[in-house]
Amino acid sequence: MMKFLKKEGEAMIQFQNEYIMVFQSALFQTTCTVVDAKDFVLVVDPNWLPHEIEEIKQYVAQIQGEKELYLLFTHGDFDHVIGYKAFPGAKVIASKGLKEHPNKAEKVGLIQQFYNENYIKIPYPIVFPEVDIVIEKDVQQLKIGGTAITFYLSPGHTHDGLFTLIEPEGIWIAGDYLSDFELPFIYDSAKAYEETLRKAEEILEKHNVSVLVPGHGHATTSKEEIKRRIHLAEDYLERLITAVKNEDSEAMDALEKEMAFPSNFTKNCHKDNVRIIRREYITE
Ligand SMILES: [Zn+2]
């Protein structure tokens, strides 16, 4: 299958194989995966900057032909849904949690704020996604032609996360889990996060994974590397939970310092992590 091959390292291209092109934004190493399957094209979390989304659109226009276009949102965080209206007419896939998101207006407000803070003219209407295909449970499947897309709910980071497995191509779209460098950010539940990591181990056993793409950071084709990432997150959470249970502020500070790209952003993420662990492991 010969297509409009771009070179890795070129502008936004982070990874490609016969079936997928992974675009990486200049911001937060956020990925957007475009899957060119036999019977459809799937775009995942198109983001962030207008010219970046434009590049993704142009690529999709080159490969789409007569194929139907699907848009998948891995979860409802504003950086992942920012490009929704850039693909009008696409069939939208997301979890029930995203469809019924309790803070849609807040997410839309964050997108507006992002554009204004950076003097970016708003390129598309800012709207929280309307969902056409709703994922409600683990192992829910969508079959399109010869391709099977299997979904698993992945709460913890947010309540509305999804793991997506595309077979036979062997693609695992992980959303904001299993990054090569970003440690767990818990906005939803530490207990759910741990459960989701256990689910990740099972998925790796059950499915034929040839490439995993995280929401932030690098795709990997190595099973060993995927295992390393699962254990990295498990180990970090375990040590953080222990530190919080023991009210060990020295250990908590050290864990904050393990985060890559230390900033006010990671400081706040760490505070949220601690607050949620306290709520779940101490108050209850
Ligand atoms: Zn994200």
Could you report the average pLDDT of every consecutive run of 10 residues in the chain (284 residues)?
51 92 97 96 97 96 96 98 97 98 98 97 96 98 96 98 97 98 96 98 97 98 98 98 96 96 96 97 76
pLDDT for the residue numbered 284 = 54
- What is the residue range of 77's domain? 13-283
**150 CA distance to ligand 1 centroid (A)?**
21
pLDDT for the residue numbered 1 = 41
Whether the Cβ atoms of residue 32 and residue 72 lie closer than 8 Å to each other = no
**186 CA distance to ligand 1 centroid (A)?**
11
Structural domains of the chain, count: 1
Q: Does residue 55 lie in a domain region?
A: yes
Ion ligand 1 residues within 5 Å by Cβ: 77, 79, 176, 215
Runs of H (alpha helix) within 133-222: 190-206
C-alpha to C-alpha distance for 184 and 178, rounded to whole angstroms: 9
**39 CA distance to ligand 1 centroid (A)?**
28
Q: Does residue 90 lie in a domain region?
A: yes
Alpha-carbon torsion (220, 223, 228, 233), positive or negative: positive
The count of residues in the chain is 284
25 contacts: CB under 8 Å, gap ≥ 6: 12, 31, 32, 47, 48, 49, 52
Whether the Cβ atoms of residue 42 and residue 34 lie closer than 8 Å to each other = yes
Q: Does residue 188 lie in a domain region?
A: yes
**80 CA distance to ligand 1 centroid (A)?**
6
pLDDT for the residue numbered 5 = 53
Q: Does residue 122 lie in a domain region?
A: yes
Q: pTM of the full predicted structure?
A: 0.95
Q: Does residue 2 lie in a domain region?
A: no
The tokens for 77 are: 């965080």
**175 CA distance to ligand 1 centroid (A)?**
7
Backbone angles phi, psi at 180, to 5 degrees: -80, -15
CATH, residue 82: 3.60.15.10
